[in-house]
Amino acid sequence: MSLRTSAFFGIFTLLVGMMGCTHESMNPDPDFINPVNPVVQDPPCDPNLVYFEQDVLPLLQSSCGYAGCHDVATAEDGVILVSYESVMGSKGGDLVSAGNPQNSELYEVLVEDNPNKLMPPPDEGGPLSQDQIDLIYGWIEQGALNNSCADCDSTLASYSGAIELTLAASCTSCHSGANPDGQVDLTSHAGVVNAVTNRNLLGCIRHDAYAEAMPPSGNPLTDCQIQQFQHWIDAGMPND
């Protein structure tokens, strides 16, 4: 929904601009409405490359780009983190200096010493894990590309492979720690089994009618990822 909303906002901003209206646009940078074409790579994916679509975007959406923080509606501090265009266009395009993570605010705030400037704020689950910080660093260092490579195989669905990786990318930013959202901890095998058995995890990721849609904002998991969960559950949720 937020992607559609951001596209709508982009078009709306463009129309308002063409009408010569003097309203301040939230995202004056033209990249916001002229997205750089995505670079889509066919599998096999390069294990040394960070892919925006699969690695960075789910992390930003689940850790930053949700309601009340950096979604389109709130745009805290002028920063929207729900799509490639919004990441590159926020703050007049100053959030990310492609190739130069040390000069990119998006990276700097992740390793900030001052707890008042650290992102995500300590009471919102910050700081990110070192692996997650490294991911953002690597993506910027490699040129902050709008790149994508999907090599998801729906039949390969071990816990330590597919399941844990998907949860880490899209869910554990909210579902970890002493007081996880919904009291659902998704950082251990036992926690995930419990969420499937007692909290309808599968319905949540499939966006079934009477389930809480998870993740609550941003892109849903892909069909292939959902099939991996289905296979893993059908196999008895092994800790493999």
Residue 104 or 228 with smaller CB distance to ligand HEC: 228
Residue 27 touching ligand HEC (CB under 6 A): no
- Tell whether residue 184 is a contact of ligand HEC (CB under 6 A): yes
Beta carbon nearer to ligand HEC, 17 or 182: 182
User: 134 or 212: whose CB is closer to ligand HEC?
Assistant: 212
Tell me if 176 contacts ligand HEC by CB under 6 A: no
> Which residue matches tokens 């960075």?
56
Find where tokens 């002229």 sit.
Answer: 34
> Is there binding between residue 216 and ligand HEC (CB under 6 A)?
yes
Residue 76 tokens, joined = 């805290």
Q: Does 195 bind ligand HEC (CB under 6 A)?
A: yes
Query: Is 174 near ligand HEC (CB under 6 A)?
Result: yes
Question: Which of positions 52-91 make contact with ligand HEC (CB under 6 A)?
Answer: 62, 66
Contact criterion met (CB below 8 Å) for 192 and 167: yes
By CB under 6 A, is residue 199 in contact with ligand HEC? yes
Nearer to ligand HEC, 82 or 145 (CB): 82
Q: Name the residue nearer to ligand HEC (CB basis): 80 or 174.
A: 174
Q: What is the nearest approach in angstroms of ligand HEC to the Cβ of residue 173?
A: 6
- Rounded to a whole number of angstroms, the minimum distance from the CB of residue 145 to ligand HEC is 24
Least distance CB 162 / ligand HEC (angstroms): 13
Tokens 């095998």 correspond to 189
- The site for ligand HEC (CB under 6 A) is made up of 62, 66, 170-171, 173-175, 181-182, 184, 195, 199-201, 204-205, 212, 214-216, 221
